[in-house]
Structure 1
C-alpha cells in the first residue's frame, strides 16, 4: 500500500532521476491519476492498493466533506473510493489543475452521501465508467459551488476559499469558459417489437452511469455530449444541462431519503448544447416517482437515442421537461427501426405517467423520430405540452421501418386514458406521414383531446408511401373508448396530397368533435399521388382495412357514433378531389357538419358531404356570407344508404353558382330523400348541373329555395309635398317662363287624365319614321333690326286639340286659348309682347 500527497509526489519527482524514476516507481503515472492539492486546511489523502484509489482526509464542515485535487482521473478497471464516514451527507470535490478528468473506472462512496465532482476543464466518462454511491451524483464543469451568503467552493480560485460552509450548496456558478462533459458507451440495449405498439424493454441489464433508486444523476456542462451512452436511475431523476454562463440553482429536498435533487436554470444568461447520439439513452423507470429534465441551447437526439420514463408501479410519475433555447432536433430510429429517437413517457401499471413538456424556438422531428406518451394498463398517460415560438416540422418516416413515422402522439392500450396534446407554434408542417394524434386500442381507455394554436400556417401534406399512412392531426377510437375532440386555431390551414385533419371512430367508442378556425383560409386539395384517396377533413365512424382490423381486434363495422365537424373561415377551398365530410360506415347516422365562411369554392371534383352506409343521413349546414361556387363536377351531398333517410341540407348565402356538371343532393336509396333548403338572392345553375332530393326506391325529399322578400316601399318616389291645383296639372300648357319639374314614376306611371283609367302600355313601341311635312303660310315678321331690339321672347303655342280639314289633313289647334290682340295666349300663361304671330299645320301620314 502506498500513500501519496501532492507535496510528497513533488519531492519524488524533483529528487529522482528520470530513468530511476521510471525504473523504481513504475506505478507512479497511475498513482498520479488522482493527485490532491494543498488548498484545503486539511488536505485530501490518496492511498493506492491494487487498482483502488482510497481517498480519505479532506476538510469536514458539518455534514459536508470537502476534497480538492490538482488532477482527478480514474483509469480503466480502476476505482476511486471515497472512504467517508456515514455522517457525511455531501462529498464536494473540485479539480484545481488544468487537466480534464478522464473516468473509465468506478466511483464509490460510503453510506448515502451525495457526490459532487467539479472540473471546469472538462469531464470524460468512458465506456467502463460506473457509479457505486448511495446518494445523488452531480458532475459539472462550473467554476464553483455556491453556498449561502454567496460563499463559494471555487475550482478556478482555490486560494480565495473562505470558511467552508456547513450548509448544502445552493447552486453552480458558470463563467464563459466551461468545459465539455462527454459520456461514451456502446449504445443502449433497449428493445421493442414495434415502434409504437410495444413497450420498451431492457435487454441484459444496464451498462453506463446509474445511481440508486430515488436519486439524481446530473451532468451540467458546458456542452454535454453522450455518444452511445446510458444514464439510468430507478424512480429517480436525470438532469442534463448545457450552460454557457450564469447560475444554476439547486432545489434540495427536505428529506434526502429517496428524494431527488432538482435544478433550476432561471439564472442562466447563455446556454450551450446537449447532444445524444449513436443510441444513447436516458432511462428512468421503477415503482416510485421518476422525472427528467434537459435544458440547453440546442438539443439533438439521433440514431435511436431516447429519453424514457417508464412507470411500473401505482404512484404517479414525474414530468419529462425539455427546454431548448434555440432548437430541438430528433432524427431516425435504432438500426432495427424498432425504437424511435425521441422522448417517451409510458406506464405499464396502475400509476399514471407525468406530463411531457417541451419548449423551444424550433422543433424538428424526421425519419421516424417521435414524442410519445402511452399507457399499457390502468394508469393514465400524461399530457403532452409543446410550446414553440417559431416552427414545428414533423417530416417523413424511417427508411429501415416505414411504420416508424415522425409523430407526436398519446396512445392507450389498456383501461387507462391518454392525455391531451397541446401544441402552440408560428408554423406547423406535417409532411410525408408526419403526424399529431391521440388514439385508443384494445380496451376501454379514451383518447385525449388535441389543441393546436398556430399563428400562421398548419400544413398536412402527403403520406408515408409504403402503408399509405397520411400526414394528419387526428384523434381516433379503435376500441370501446371514445375519441377526443380536436380544436385547431390558425390563420391558414392547408391539407394536400392525402393529408388529413380528423376525429373519428372505427370501433365501439364514439368519435369526437373537430373544430377548425382559420382567420384567412382553409384549403383541402388533391389526392394521394397515384390513387383516388382524397385529402380529408372529416369526422366519422369509418371502416378499416381487414388485415389491420384483425391485428388490433377492430370489428369490421364500427358501432360507435361519429363526431361532428365545424369549420369557421373567410374562405374555404375544396378542389382536385379534396373532401370535407362527416360519414358513418356503420349502422348509425352520420354526424353533423357546419361551415361558416365568407366564400366557399369547390372545383374539379371537390366535395362537402354527410353520408351513411345504412343509417340516417347527416345534417349539413352552410352559412356563407358572400358566394358558394361549385365548378368542375363538384358536389355537396347529404346522402343515406340502405333504409336510412337522406340528410337535411341547409344553405344560406348571397349567391350560388352551380356550374360544369356540379350538384347539390340530399338523396337516399330505400328511405325518404332528404330536404334541401336554400336561402339566396341569386341562384345560377348550368344545364348540366342539378339540385336533387330524391330516393331511388322511396319518397323523394323536398327542395325549397327561398328568395328574400322585396320591400316595395324602397322603390317609391318621393313626390313634392307642395300644394298644387290639379286642374292646372292635367294637361299642362305652362309657358316657358314658369318653373318646371320632371318626375319619373316608372313604367305605367300616372294616367294622363284622372278621369280615365290607367291602361297598360307596351314597353316596346314602333319607332319607324313617319312622313312628316310642314305646310307654311306667310306670316308677318319683324325686321332683323327690330328682332334684335325686341326683348320679348317668341311665344310657344301649344296644341290642345285637333280637327280634320276638308282636304283630309289634320290641323292641331289650341281650343282653350283666348284671343288677346292678334295673338293666341294660353289661359294660364303670361302674355308676350311680340306682335308677330304664326300658325303651324302638321300633316301626318304613316308610311306604308
Structure 2
C-alpha cells in the first residue's frame, strides 16, 4: 500500500510504540518433506470426476451437477509442489463442492484454480495442510474444512465419511458444516508476513502491508474460511481484501453457513465444544482495503505469538467491518517477531474517510504480554473503531518487550488525525495491569479521544512499571488540540501500587478528560516507581515531551486544561507518597477533586492536591461519613502560583485529625488565598500540623470550622426555654450525698431567644429555706470599727477557720461565718445520709 491517503502530519513523534516478544508455541507438525499423493477420483458419484494430467497441471472435469452446484468426490486430493489443480467448471456453476473419502490428509503445496466466480469447498475430515507454496486462484470464496459433511435443505448431506451409497445431491446452497468427534487439523505454513510501520519501530504510524503474493488469498469482497479441528497458522498468511476471513476450531457440532454480500458468514451456535486456534511465526489474517472487511475467529484457546497479526486497515470511503474473536477458554497475544520490528497484535486502522472497524473479544481469560497490542486507531478524518472486551474471569496486561522496551503491552484506542477516536470498554471480573502495561485512549490530532470505561466485578490492580519506560497505567491523553476522552472505572476494589496510575493528561492545548471512579469497597494507593512517579489518580496538563515538540512544532508552554477527578468509595487510602491530583503548571486552570467516602486515610506523605502555576487553583471537596485522617507529613492542598487565586477546600467528616506534621492549605502567591470550610464534630491537630489559607502577596483566605449538626450560617439559633439539668443526666447511687457544690440559678443572663431583651438583674430564691426562718441582724458602725482597730494591737491573732455557713443582713449583704447564728446553723450542720 502507498501512503497517499496518510495525513501529511509526520507521526515520527510517536515514541510510545506498542509491540512485544513472546513465548514460542511449538506444535508437532507433519514432516517438511511429505510424500504427496495424486488427485484420484473415487467414482462414487453418478457422473464421476475426471482428472487429466498435462505436465504439472491436473485438470478436473466431470462431476455431478445439481442446479448451480457441481459435486466432486476423490479418494485422494493433494497438489504437489509446483503443481496445479484446475477445476474446469462451467461459468454457470456457483458452488464447487469437493469431498475426499479416503484416509489421507490433503497436502497442498501448489495452485488451486477454478473458472469464473464459483465458490470452492474442499472437504477432508482427515486434515488439510497448506504449505509454503500453496496458492489460490478462485473467483469466489474458498472453504477448507475437516467437517464430515456439508448440510443442505431438508436434512440432505454431502458426506465424506459415508460415501458408499449414492448421495442425494441438493440444488440448494450449503447451509452448514457437520462435525463429528475428533475432526482433523488444518495447518497453514509459510514464511510470515512482511508488514512494517511507516516509521520503523513506532506502532502508532500506519502499517505498510507490502505487495507479496505469498500465502492464501481470495478475490476482493470474498470469504476465505478455514474451519476444522485444531487450526494453526505457522507463518501462514491469509488475505481477503475487503472481504471476510473465517477461522474456526471445532471439536464437534454444526457450523451454520449464510451467504452475504461479502461471501459467507459463519455462526457457531450449534457447536458445544471447540479446539485451539494458534497463529505464530509472523502469521497474518488481513482483510484490509477500501472498506467492508471483517474477521471472525472462534476456538477454545486462541493464541497470537511471534509477531502474528490480525488486521483491518481501511483506506477507503466505506466503513469497515469488525474483528470478532470468541475464545471459550482463553486468548493470549504475546510478544514480538524475533527481529523486534513488529509485535503480535490485533489491529483496526483507519487511513481513509470511512469508519474504522470495531474489535470485539469474548473469552474467559485474556492476556496481553511482552509488548503485544490490541488497538483501534484512526490516522485520518475517519472515525476510529471501538474496542469491546467481554472477559468473564480475568484480563492481564503485562510488561514491555524484553527485546525492545519501545514496545509496551497495550490495549488502546487512538485518534491521530482529524477523526475522533473510538471508545474502549473492558468488562471483566479481575483486571491486572502490571510491569509497565497500559490501557489507554488518546488523541494525537484534531479529533476527540474516545472514552475509556473499565468494569471489574472483583478488583482492578495497577502495579509497578518498567524503569526504561513508564508506570503501569489506565490513561487518557490529548497531545495536540483535540480534547481527551473521559475515563470511568467501576469496581469493588481498586489497588494502585509501586507507581501504578489512573491518569488523564493534556500535553497540548486540548482539555484532558475527567476521571470518575466508583469503588464499592475501597481504593488503596501506595508507593512510587521512581521519585516523581507516585501511585495514584491524576488529571493534569503537562508540557509536551521534547520529541513531540520537535516533530509537531508544539510549544513547551503548557496551554491545556486538566480534567476533574471524582471518587466514590467507602474507604480511600493514600499512603507512602500516593496522590490524588489535579494540576496545571501553565496558565490554564486546574480541575477539581471531589471525594465521597466513608473514611479517608492519608499516611506517609499521602496527598490530595489541586494546584496551578498561574491559573485558578482547583477546588477540593472531601466528604467522609466517618473520619478524615492525615498522618506523617500528609497534605490536602488547593494552591495557586503566580497571579492565580488559591482553590477552595471543603472538608466534611465526623472527625478530622492532622497529626505528625500534616497540612491542610489553600495558599496563593500573588492572588487571593483560597477559603477552607471544615464541618466536623471533632478537629484534632498535633502541634506540628497546621491549617492555612494564606497569600504571600495577596489577601489571605478564610478558614471556617463548624459543627455540621448546627447551621449557624443563615440565621441566629434559638435556645430552649427549658434547658436540661445536667445533674439529671448523671447516674448516682446516692443522689442526696452530693456535697461541695456551688449552684447559681435564676432567670438573668442571656435570654432564651437571641432576639429578646438582655436583662442584667439576677433573682435568686432558695426554696430549701423555710419561710419562718429568722436571721439575726448584725450591725457594725463606723465608730465601732474604729474602736476595734485601736484595740487590734492588743488582741492576739486568731487562727483562720474555714467558713461553714453564711448569714444575710437586713441591708441585703451576705457574710460567710464559721457558725451561723440562730436556727440556720443547726439545720445546715445536719448531715444527710442515704438509707435503704
Structure 1 600/503 Cα, relative in aligned 2: closer, same or farther at 3 Å? same
CA distance in 2, matches of 1:755, 1:383: 83
CA distance in 2, matches of 1:103, 1:427: 44
Instruction: Tell me which residue corresponds to 1:489.
Output: 490
Question: Unaligned stretches of 5+ in structure 1?
Answer: 1-28, 721-739, 760-769, 772-799, 802-807, 818-825, 827-839, 843-848
CA distance in 2, matches of 1:460, 1:30: 53
CA radius of gyration, larger in: 1
8 Å Cα contact 2:674-2:694 kept in structure 1: yes
8 Å Cα contact 1:603-1:632 kept in structure 2: yes
8 Å Cα contact 1:435-1:473 kept in structure 2: yes
Structure 1 841/677 Cα, relative in aligned 2: closer, same or farther at 3 Å? closer
- State the secondary structure of the residue aligned to 1:519: strand
Q: 1:375 aligns with which of 378, 389, 409?
A: 378
8 Å Cα contact 1:195-1:340 kept in structure 2: no
Structure 1 616/44 Cα, relative in aligned 2: closer, same or farther at 3 Å? same
Instruction: Tell me which residue corresponds to 2:648.
Output: 648
- State the secondary structure of the residue aligned to 1:550: helix
Deviation for aligned residue 1:352: 1.1
Q: 1:138 aligns with which of 143, 151, 159?
A: 143
8 Å Cα contact 1:810-1:841 kept in structure 2: no
Q: 1:426 aligns with which of 425, 429, 436?
A: 429
CA distance in 2, matches of 1:751, 1:479: 75
Partner deviation per Cα, 1:433-461 (whole Å, 9 max, x = no partner): 111111111x3111000111001111111
8 Å Cα contact 2:239-2:245 kept in structure 1: yes
Structure 1 746/127 Cα, relative in aligned 2: closer, same or farther at 3 Å? farther
- State the secondary structure of the residue aligned to 1:158: coil
Instruction: Tell me which residue corresponds to 1:698.
Output: 698
Instruction: Tell me which residue corresponds to 2:478.
Output: 477
8 Å Cα contact 2:291-2:321 kept in structure 1: no
CA distance in 2, matches of 1:104, 1:715: 102
Deviation for aligned residue 1:744: 9.5
Question: Unaligned stretches of 5+ in structure 2?
Answer: 1-33, 711-717, 729-733, 748-761, 768-800, 809-816, 832-836
Deviation for aligned residue 1:696: 1.4
CA distance in 2, matches of 1:46, 1:142: 24
Structure 1 660/309 Cα, relative in aligned 2: closer, same or farther at 3 Å? same
- State the secondary structure of the residue aligned to 1:252: strand
Q: 1:456 aligns with which of 451, 455, 458?
A: 458
Spell out the pairing of 1:400-799 with structure 2 (5 A cutoff).
400-441=403-444, 443-467=445-469, 469-529=470-530, 531-708=531-708, 716=724, 756-757=764-765
Deviation for aligned residue 1:647: 0.6
- State the secondary structure of the residue aligned to 1:439: strand
Partner deviation per Cα, 1:197-249 (whole Å, 9 max, x = no partner): 21111235231000000000000010000001100121011010000011100
8 Å Cα contact 1:152-1:161 kept in structure 2: no
Partner deviation per Cα, 1:393-430 (whole Å, 9 max, x = no partner): 00011122211111000111110111000110001011
8 Å Cα contact 1:137-1:218 kept in structure 2: yes
8 Å Cα contact 2:46-2:166 kept in structure 1: no
Partner deviation per Cα, 1:769-808 (whole Å, 9 max, x = no partner): x99xxxxxxxxxxxxxxxxxxxxxxxxxxxx99xxxxxx9
Deviation for aligned residue 1:196: 2.0
Deviation for aligned residue 1:158: 1.3
Deviation for aligned residue 1:337: 2.4
Instruction: Tell me which residue corresponds to 1:782.
Output: none
Deviation for aligned residue 1:810: 6.9
Matched, 1:305 2:313: no
8 Å Cα contact 2:36-2:79 kept in structure 1: no
Number of residues of Structure 1 aligned to a counterpart in Structure 2: 724
Structure 1 752/677 Cα, relative in aligned 2: closer, same or farther at 3 Å? closer
Matched, 1:123 2:132: no
CA distance in 1, matches of 2:564, 2:36: 74
Deviation for aligned residue 1:630: 0.4
8 Å Cα contact 2:639-2:665 kept in structure 1: yes
Matched, 1:243 2:254: no
8 Å Cα contact 2:487-2:515 kept in structure 1: yes
- State the secondary structure of the residue aligned to 2:562: coil
- State the secondary structure of the residue aligned to 2:288: strand
So what's the TM-score if we normalise by structure 2?
0.83
8 Å Cα contact 1:53-1:79 kept in structure 2: yes
CA distance in 2, matches of 1:135, 1:390: 40
Root-mean-square deviation (Å): 2.9
Structure 1 746/232 Cα, relative in aligned 2: closer, same or farther at 3 Å? farther
8 Å Cα contact 2:479-2:544 kept in structure 1: no
CA distance in 2, matches of 1:684, 1:68: 90
